[in-house]
Amino acid sequence: MRILVVEDDTLLASGIRAALAQAGFTADAVGSAEHALAALQTGESFDLAIVDIGLPGIDGLELVRRLRAQRSALPALVLTARDSLEDCVNALQLGADDYLTKPFRVPELVARIHAVLRRAQARSEQVLRFGPLVMDVQARSCDLAGRPLELTPSEWQILEMLATSAPRVATRERLVQTLAGWDRDLSGNALEVHVSRLRAKLEGALLIRTIRGLGYRLDEPE
């Protein structure tokens, strides 16, 4: 995944780049909206843009507006100064996918990025399939071997991430970050509880394997 960081504060930009690299992303930073537009127009491919609102020249809100006016589907996470609720609301109305208020902590930034990317992926792939599992993301309906599967919101989140990640492992960290959006007080073994309920609902038609020290992997039975 490649991320474009649009931030004129060079110290913050390099901090974000380093944090993203550590989280497994590739990141390129530019200091202005003009440079961002130029980079995008040369056909460079990015999966997400992190856009500071306070930029010299064209500001971050205008950048998001222009991207959407150009029918760009590039997911955008906007960074705002503290206490600018109006900016946050404007950003979302102009087509930003989410916003984060400065100062923020790296784990929160990474969690927001994963959430935005996941939503963008769900938008582009309306139907997720894995073996006998079919998840219609838009209709929010799930079938297993042709039979409807009733899921709680938390179970849906977990299964969606497992199906998106399969055949790779969905890490425990990402699953917990995903669930925290639904289950703010997620603690202790809440993830394990949801996973075990999900396993029961899958009735062996699909397996959720525990990968020790790492997370879980969706698998078809032998």
By beta-carbon proximity to Ca ion, the closer residue of 102 and 199 is: 102
Q: Of 15, 34, 54, 132, which lies in the binding site for Ca ion, with binding defined by CB under 5 A? A: 54
**Closer CB to Ca ion, residue 87 or residue 155?**
87
| Residue 97 lies near Ca ion (rule: CB under 5 A) | no
**Which H or E element spans position 157?**
helix 153-165
Dig out the tokens for 51 from the structure: 């856009």
Residues 6 or more apart in contact with residue 96 via CB below 8 angstroms = 51, 64, 76, 77, 78
Q: Does 87 bind Ca ion (CB under 5 A)?
A: no
Interface stretch with Ca ion, choices 1-9, 17-25, 112-120, 126-134 (CB under 5 A): 1-9
Classify strands 207-211 and 141-144 as parallel, antiparallel or unpaired: unpaired
Q: Is the dihedral of CA 172, 175, 179, 184 positive or negative?
A: positive
Q: Which residues face 113 on adjacent strands? A: none
How many residues form the binding site for Ca ion (CB under 5 A)? 3
Compute the Cα dihedral for 188, 192, 195, 196 and give only its sign.
negative
Is 8 a binding residue for Ca ion by CB under 5 A? The answer is: yes
Among 27, 29, 48, 52, binds Ca ion (CB under 5 A): 52
Q: Which listed range, 50-58, 149-157, 199-207, 209-217, lies at the site for Ca ion (CB under 5 A)?
A: 50-58
Which residues contribute to the site for Ca ion (CB under 5 A)? Answer: 8, 52, 54
